[in-house]
Structure 1
Amino acid sequence: MKKKKSSLRKQFSTRLISIFLVMGLISSVVQLYFMNKQIDYEIEKNTIMINESISHGIKETDLAAKNIEYQIDLKIIADAKHIDDLLNTTKASDITNEQLIQIKQRLNLTDISIISKKGEDYIVVKATDPAEIGYQLNQTNELKKTINAIFNGENPIIESAYTGDGMLVLPILSSDVHPGQFFKYAYYHPEGADFLINPYIEADDIEKFTLEVGPGSWIKKIMKQHKYIKDITVLDPKVFQNPNLENQLWPPLKKVIYGSFQYQTEKDIKTIMKMAESPAEQSYVQSVGGKKVLKLFYPIENEKVISITLDYKEMTGPLVIHSIILFTSVAISILFIFLLMYRSFERIYGKVQQIVLQITSIEYGDLTAKSTIHDGSEIEHVSESLNRMVDKLNKLVLDMHEQATKTQKFSALLEAEASQSLEKLYEISTNATIKSREQLYDITAFLDEIVAVLTPYQENRNVQEAIEKIDFMREVAKERTSATTTITISLSDLLKSLYIQSGEISDTSNTLLDQIGKFKL
């Protein structure tokens, strides 16, 4: 099968394009790899910053809330003792609701209750809130022991509560009388009195502070600084597992502590519930409401979880644009290099084409074809060598033409002379042969006559010898005649062969001249 030819330009273009395509592919893969790495790095860096900021905000808020609660504890203790001074009695029966209302307004308290002991129970007998009157304290064993200790003038110790001489301040609790509302309750037993003073205030101050300077404000600030952050939420996985915890102790447990959690999906709920049992970082990409978002979940202190939702397109957009610009720059650079190399190749290819055309012209017999290249490169050396070769070939063929012309002339002259010599020799040899045969005949006849004369005397020894010599002379004469004939024939054949060979030389010279005539000299 004949192999299909391919031009040098086509081979170069194909290979160069293939190389640059491979380079472009490798460059794209490398850029894509590093772009993904950069995206991961940016995500990790920003989420760590957000995580630390929110965690720091939560810690500061908790600390501030505890400080506020402690200040409230001190204030409500002072208020309880001041109420005792204002009431100035040891009997609950001497106290009126109107008195309590005036004191409440004066001290800026939410409400005041007077609790008396009836049997083993503690019942509200007087109160600024009518709904509280008759309410029986829902006492746990620990709380009951503590109130009993206060009533008996002892100094109880209860975990997570403030206690002192005849004083108990509980953590903020949900109200049994007003479900969904949380209050700070204090219980004070004046010395010698038959009742407990129970002032309490709403816990909204702590909640208000948390909203103003807590993680919620941090979340808004961070989301304002970073447009690609769509949502930051602090979650309580335990409440997702047990929603009933939302209606129990203060602080009110919620699924969503801070933030909105507006991009939640079923998968998010399962992820959070799973993190309640095994807290570990989780992340995945989802499409929510037609928008591609990246969701990250980080466990933090106090068994909480920070959920961060990022706009994947907006977050990766600058990096993608940067990569596109970089890729475009690389592509333009590669194209520029390609054009530069192709232009350089075209210059080299043009010079090679000159040499190819020169060789093609030589192939078709043009021994005047020359190439003109002056670039100081190896191609110039090749061109000069080829030009020298053409000059030498031209000179060689001219010399051959000259010699062939001379040979043709000499062969024609030789052929003519051989022809003339052959004719003359043929005439001479014919005459010589005829003459020698005639002479042989005469000699033979003469010798026969002598033998005939001597035959009668052949008994004579001398005569006998003479007859033998005559016979010998006859044979010699025959041989001489035969040799002359043979020489004449051989000489004739030689001249004939010389004539034929001179003709062949003439034909060869003519053929050589015809072939040389095909060259352009």
Structure 2
Amino acid sequence: MTQVFSLLIVIAILSAGIQVYFMNQQIKSNIYEKSTPIANSIERGIEETDLASKMIEQQIDFKMIAIAKHIGDLLQTQKVENIKNEQLLKIKKDLNLAGLTIFARKDNDIVAVKSTDVKDIGFSTKSYGELVYRNMNAVLKGEEPVVQEGYTDKSILVLPIVKSGSHKEQPLFFKYAYYHPPGSDYIVNPFIEAQEVYKFTQEVGPGRLISQIEQRNPYVKEISVLNPKVFKNPSLEMNFYPPLRKVEHGDFKYQTKEDVEILKQMVDHPVKRISLQKVNGEKLYKVFLPINDNRVIYLALDYSKMTTPFYKYSIILMVSSLLSLLVLFLITVPFFNQIYENIQRVKEQIQLLADGDLTVKSRVKDGSELEILSNSVNKMVNKLHSLVSDTREQAVKTQRLSVMLEAEASQSVEKMYELSTETTIQSREQLHEIHEFLDEIEEVLNTLPNDENTKAIFDKMDAMRQIANDRTATTTEMTIQLSDLLQSLHGQSKELSNIANTLLQQISRFKL
């Protein structure tokens, strides 16, 4: 019973281990299932927001082009030195601009020489990269600049919303237009605050969607849209154009070194990544899902809130399984005990049978194969009992007959020995008498004349001697052979008696 209970404990432990393994797999699958719709929603939100923002920006682009050309007409000069700051301030106020800057060539650079904001004066296009300078140079020459985004035409460049290059202490985002009035030596740069697009993005864009998702899902700690390229090359965030940020939308407060390494790897290998981390005492599942435009949607999920239901379910399942095993154990123990007892009965019967007890019987009445086995063994015992009993009876008879035969053979040998001795003596006496008689006849005949008749008589006398010798020898030989036969019979009867005794001794080991 102890072994069976131990086996049940081992089964319960193995079952728990298997459940934990599959539970972890289910958690990962659940994370993927829950994170994928969120990522898809955010991706759709980004696409919709980008589309709407581009439409708004397009309208602003046309407005900025008209404003820039109008400013060129208002300045009414082709020389930058003729432009006064008072003119710029008045135009800014009249047109409700965020600012107005005049760019002109200075040495081998194009810089801001006049502006409504003194912070902009001295701004160097080369300081923000060769691309910025090259595009500004194209505008100043009356050519069409080449940019990936924004509106361009000959002598005109309207950038997407970008960060101001001169406001270092507090980043500000503006919409910039660059226009070269025909025949002038300067570039008009009016700009407005990108409040309309920014406000739209904040109200209906990914940031708003992220906030709603975080409120609806208690297991979501934070969501953000990240740019892996900026994490791999942080200097991109300092570029004037195109505007790049590490965190484009949402928060990234739980950032770790491992996250940064994952994002760097996703630049070249944009595949889904899941990482289990402990940050500030909180255990988090972090999910990184790549989307279009080299962006990554990042989700930080509360590990405890996500796994608690699974662990509760697993505990309930394990307890239920253990209770089921215990109930099964209690139900099956009597059954197995009965089987064990029946096996022991048959085992004891076979053990006693091996020890020579041919009277032992087993009583198994459970209707199983053990009952069939018990009946078969009982039949075998009965047959062995009958066989050994019959063998013992025959051995007893054999022993009794062999003893009688041995006694009679012994008496016959003695009688034969006496008879042989007497017969031999008589034969020798008769032979001696015959020889004496023939010798006497021979003496008489020697006195007679030696003729043919006498010689014939001598020959017959020699023949009679030979016959008498042969008969005496034959009688002696027959007596000896008969004696040997009786002695052999006596020995064989004794051997048979010994065999019968040995067989009876062997049979005596059995209990009949």
TM-score tier (shorter): 0.5 to 0.7
Specify the code of the residue in structure 1 equivalent to 2:32.
Answer: E
AA aligned opposite 1:263 = Y
Picking from 23, 48, 73, the partner of 2:36 is 48
With over 3 angstroms needed to count, the CA separation of the structure-2 counterparts of 1:244 and 1:327, relative to structure 1, is same
SS of the residue 1:430 aligns to = helix
- Which secondary structure state, in structure 2, belongs to the residue aligned with residue 457 of structure 1? coil
**Deviation of residue 263 (structure 1)?**
1.0
CA distance in 2, matches of 1:454, 1:302: 164
Task: Give the aligned residue type for 2:485.
Answer: L
Summarize the Cα distance change of 1:395–1:269 in structure 2 as closer, same or farther, 3 Å threshold.
closer
Change (3 A) 1:455 1:377: farther
The partner residue of 1:387 within 357, 378, 388 is: 378
- TM-score normalised over the length of structure 2: 0.61
Mapped to 2, the partners of 1:479 and 1:377 lie a distance apart of 85
Secondary structure of 1:50's counterpart equals helix
Contact 1:370–1:387 under 8 Å retained in 2 = yes
Which residue pairs with 2:495 in the alignment?
504
Q: 1:440 touches 1:478 (CA, 8 Å); kept in 2? A: yes
Q: What is the aligned partner in structure 2 of residue 289 from structure 1? A: 280
Please name the residue that 2:145 is paired with: none
Q: Does 1:443 align with 2:431?
A: no
Which of 469, 483, 488 is the aligned partner of 2:460? 469
Tell me the distance in 2 between the aligned counterparts of 1:69 and 1:341: 79
Please list every run of 5 or more consecutive structure 1 residues that lacks an aligned counterpart in the other structure.
1-8, 73-114, 142-158, 162-169, 186-199
Tell me by how many angstroms 1:409 deviates.
1.7
Match of 2:485 in 1: 494
In 2, the alpha carbon distance for the partners of 1:263 and 1:380 equals 72
**What is the aligned partner in structure 1 of residue 180 from structure 2?**
none
Aligned pair partner of 2:411 in 420, 443, 462: 420
Secondary structure of residue in 2 paired with 1:412? helix
Preserved CA contact (<8 Å) 1:371 1:383? yes
3-state SS of the aligned residue for 1:451? helix
CA distance in 2, matches of 1:279, 1:430: 126
Given that 2:274 and 2:286 are in contact with CA atoms closer than 8 Å, whether structure 1 keeps it comes out as yes
Return the alpha-carbon distance in structure 2 between the equivalents of residues 238 and 465 of structure 1: 160
- Alpha-carbon separation, structure 2, partners of 1:415 and 1:363: 36
1:518 corresponds in structure 2 to 509
Greater mean deviation of Cα atoms: 361-370 or 288-297: 288-297
Q: Specify the code of the residue in structure 2 equivalent to 1:41.
A: S
User: Within 5 Å, which residues of 2 pair with 1:13-24?
Assistant: none
Comparing 36-45 and 116-125, the one that deviates more: 116-125
- For residues 352 and 99 of structure 2, the distance between their equivalents in structure 1, rounded to whole angstroms, comes to 124
The 1:304–1:138 alpha-carbon spacing in structure 2 relative to 1, beyond 3 Å, is: farther
Q: Distance in 2 between matches of 1:259 and 1:433?
A: 143
Query: Residue 273 of structure 2 aligns to a residue in which SS?
Result: strand
Secondary structure of 2:299's counterpart equals strand
**Aligned position for 1:403:** 394
2:162 and 2:489 map into 1 onto residues whose CA distance is 145
Q: Structure 2 vs 1, CA of residues 346 and 460 (structure 1 numbering), >3 Å: closer, same or farther?
A: farther
Matches within 5 A, 1:110-509: 120-121=83-84, 122-124=87-89, 137-139=100-102, 215-235=206-226, 241-244=235-238, 256=247, 258-266=249-257, 268=259, 280=270, 283-285=273-275, 286-298=277-289, 306-319=297-310, 322=313, 351=342, 353-374=344-365, 379-509=370-500
**Letter aligned with residue 464 of structure 2:** M
* Distance in 2 separating the partners of 1:455 and 1:126: 203
Q: What is the DSSP-based 3-state SS (H/G/I as helix, E as strand, rest coil) of the residue aligned with 1:227?
A: coil
TM-score when normalising by structure 1? 0.60
Per mean C-alpha deviation after superposition, the further-off stretch among 252-261 and 40-49 is 252-261
Change (3 A) 1:46 1:504: closer
Structure 1 residues 368 and 204: CA distance shift in structure 2, 3 A: same
**Counterparts in 2 of 1:255 and 1:462: CA distance versus 1, 3 Å:** closer
1:414 Cα deviation from its structure 2 partner: 2.0
Matched letter for residue 49 of structure 1: P
Which whole-Å CA distance do the structure 2 matches of 1:184 and 1:218 have between them?
Answer: 25
The verdict on how the C-alpha distance between 1:329 and 1:140 changes in structure 2, with shifts beyond 3 A counting, is farther
Structure 2 CA distance, aligned partners of 1:255 and 1:448? 160
Distance 1:514 1:407 in 2: 14
Tell me, what secondary structure is at the counterpart of 1:366?
coil
Q: Is the 8 A contact 2:230 2:245 kept in 1?
A: no
Check whether the contact 1:184–1:202 (CA below 8 A) recurs between aligned residues.
yes
1:98 counterpart residue number: none
Distance (whole Å) between structure 1 residues aligned to residue 435 and residue 103 of structure 2: 184
Letter in 2 for 1:416: A
Aligned residue identity for 1:456: T
CA 1:28–1:116: 2 relative to 1, 3 Å: same
**2: CA distance between counterparts of 1:509 and 1:308?**
99
Which moved further from structure 2: 318-327 or 221-230?
Answer: 318-327
* C-alpha separation in 2, matches of 1:443 and 1:171: 170
Q: Secondary structure at the match of 2:285?
A: strand
Supply the AA of the counterpart residue of 1:283.
R
Question: Unaligned 5+ residue runs, structure 2?
Answer: 61-73, 105-148, 152-159, 177-190
The CA deviation at 1:269 is 5.3
Q: Distance in 1 between matches of 2:304 and 2:203?
A: 32
Contact 1:414 / 1:502 at 8 angstroms: preserved in 2? yes
Distance 1:273 1:481 in 2: 134
How far apart, in 1, do the equivalents of 2:197 and 2:302 lie?
A: 33
CA RMSD of aligned residues (A): 5.5
2:32 and 2:214 map into 1 onto residues whose CA distance is 16
Stretch of structure 1 that moved more, 459-468 or 324-333: 324-333
Aligned to 1:109: none
AA matched with 2:401: F
Q: 1:207 to 1:516 in 2, by over 3 A?
A: same
Q: How far 1:70 sits from its partner (Å)? A: 12
Going from structure 1 to structure 2, the CA distance change for 1:416 and 1:289 (only over 3 Å counts) comes to: same
Contact preservation (8 Å) 1:458, 1:464: no
Report the Cα offset of residue 289 of structure 1: 2.5
Q: Secondary structure at the match of 1:138?
A: strand
- In the other structure, the counterpart of 1:6 is none
Partner amino acid, structure 2, of 1:504: E
**Contact 1:279/1:299 (CA < 8 Å) preserved in 2?**
no
**Identity across matched positions, percent:** 43
CA distance in 2 between partners of 1:388 and 1:381 (Å): 11
Aligned length: 416
Indicate the larger mover: 502-511 or 303-312.
Answer: 303-312
